[in-house]
Amino acid sequence: MDLPVLPELRFHIAAPDVADAAAIAAVVGDPVRAGILALLGSGPHCVCEMAAALGERQNNVSNHLARLRQAGLVRASRHRVDARWVYYERDDAACAAALDRLGRLLR
Amino acid sequence: MDLPVLPELRFHIAAPDVADAAAIAAVVGDPVRAGILALLGSGPHCVCEMAAALGERQNNVSNHLARLRQAGLVRASRHRVDARWVYYERDDAACAAALDRLGRLLR
DNA sequence: GGAACATCTCAGGCTGTGGTGACACAGTTG
DNA sequence: CAACTGTGTCACCACAGCCTGAGATGTTCC
C-alpha cells in the first residue's frame, strides 16, 4: 500500500456525493427486487409469473415492483388481449445508467 | 413491448439465484459505506480522515469498515512509522468482481 | 348488471439494521 | 511504568424497511 511517509492527517477532504449511487444500490440490494430484475432480463413477465417463480405472494411482488417503477428501472403495460394482466419490462437505458453510476463507485 | 399474443401464463420459470448480487448491493447501498468506497477511490485513507470527511463518528465509520472488510471490498494495514493509524484501501479485484456481478443483473 | 380475476394500495406488526456510548485493545511517547 | 492516541468491539435503542391481510381498482366474462 502506498502510504504517506509520515502520518500526515488530511482533514481537508470533501465529502463525496454518493447519495444517488447508494439509493440505486439500496433498491437493487433486496433479494426479491434483484430476483425481479433477473427475471426481466429474459423478456417481459406479468406479476403472477414472477410471484410464482420467486415463491412470493402477489401483493408483495407488486409492492417491490412499485419501488422499482419509482426508481425508473422497470416499466408496466397492460396486455392487449386481456388487459387484466400487467406485464413488466426492464428500462434498459435506466438500468445501464444505474450500472454506470455504480461503476463510477467501484471502478 | 413484445408480449405473447395470448396471455399464456408461464409458471415453469426457475427462481434465479441472486442472493450474492443482492448481498453485494446491500453492502454498497448505505450512504456511509458508499462514501467510504468513494473516498478510497483516490488512494488509501486512515479511519479518522474518512470520519472527518464524511461527518460521521469514528466508531461508526469503523463499524461500516468492518462490514466492508467482511465483504472483502477493502483491506486494512497499519502505518509503518506510527502503527496507531490504520489505513484502508480498496480491493480492486473484489470491487471489479462485485461490479461484474451487478452487471450480470442489470446488463 | 354481477361474478370472477389480476393487480394495486395501504395500515399494522415485526424484524433487521444503523447510530451511539462505554469500554477494550494496540501502539506511541514521556 | 503510566498517560495518551487511534482504532475496534459490543450492548442498547430507535427507526426504517419488509411482509401480511384487508380492501379498493380495473378488466373480462356470463
Whether residue A102 contacts residue B28, with contact meaning beta carbons closer than 8 Å, is answered with: yes
Res A7 pLDDT > 90? no
Whether residue A75 contacts residue A88, with contact meaning beta carbons closer than 8 Å, is answered with: yes
- The candidate with the shortest Cα–Cα distance to B102, out of A106, A69, A65, is A106
- Please give residues of chain B from 55 to 74 whose alpha-adjacent beta carbon (CB) lies under 7 Å from any atom of strand C: 56-57, 59-60, 63-64, 67
Residue B59 C-alpha cell reads as 466508531
- The predicted-structure confidence for A63-91, as pLDDT tens digits, reads as follows 999 999 999 999 999 999 999 999 999 99
| Residues of chain B neighbouring A18 (CB-CB closer than 8 A) | 31, 34-35, 37-38
pLDDT of residue B1: 72
CA atoms within 13 A on the CB side of A29: 16
CB contact under 8 A, A52 and B13: yes
Residue B107 C-alpha cell reads as 446488463
A45-46 vs A74-78, strand pairing mode: unpaired
Measure the CA–CA gap between A107 and B40, rounded to whole angstroms. 11
The three-class DSSP label of residue A90 is strand
CA atoms within 13 A on the CB side of A71: 25
Q: Using the CB atom, is residue B30 less than 7 Å from strand C?
A: yes
Contacts of A72 (CB under 8 A, 6+ apart): A91, A94
CB contact under 8 A, A30 and B34: no
Whether residue A58 contacts residue A47, with contact meaning beta carbons closer than 8 Å, is answered with: yes
- Please give residues of chain B from 50 to 69 whose alpha-adjacent beta carbon (CB) lies under 7 Å from any atom of strand D: 51, 58-59, 62-63, 65-66
Measure the CA–CA gap between A85 and A87, rounded to whole angstroms. 6
Res A3 pLDDT > 70? no
| Min Cα–Cα distance to chain B from A55, Å | 8
Outline where DSSP puts E strands in chain A: 45-46, 74-78, 86-90
Share of chain A above pLDDT 90, in %: 85
Task: Please compute the mean of the pLDDT values over residues A36-54 and round it to a whole number.
Answer: 97
Task: Please compute the mean of the pLDDT values over residues B1-9 and round it to a whole number.
Answer: 64
CB contact under 8 A, A34 and B96: no
Q: Given pLDDT bands bounded at 50, 70 and 90, which one contains residue B5?
A: low
- Amino acid code (one letter) for A16: P
Measure the CA–CA gap between A35 and A37, rounded to whole angstroms. 5
Q: On chain C, which bases lie within 7 A of the protein's CB atoms?
A: 5-10, 17-23, 26-29
| Residues of chain B neighbouring A30 (CB-CB closer than 8 A) | 22, 26
Nucleotide nearest to B79 (CA to C1'): C27
Q: For residue B37, what are the CA distances in angstroms to A48, A64, B5?
A: 38, 27, 47
Residue A91 C-alpha cell reads as 428500462
Whether residue A2 contacts residue B43, with contact meaning beta carbons closer than 8 Å, is answered with: yes
Q: Using the CB atom, is residue A36 less than 7 Å from strand D?
A: no
- The predicted-structure confidence for B44-95, as pLDDT tens digits, reads as follows 999 999 999 999 999 999 999 999 999 999 999 999 999 999 999 999 999 9
- The predicted-structure confidence for A15-34, as pLDDT tens digits, reads as follows 889 999 999 999 999 999 99
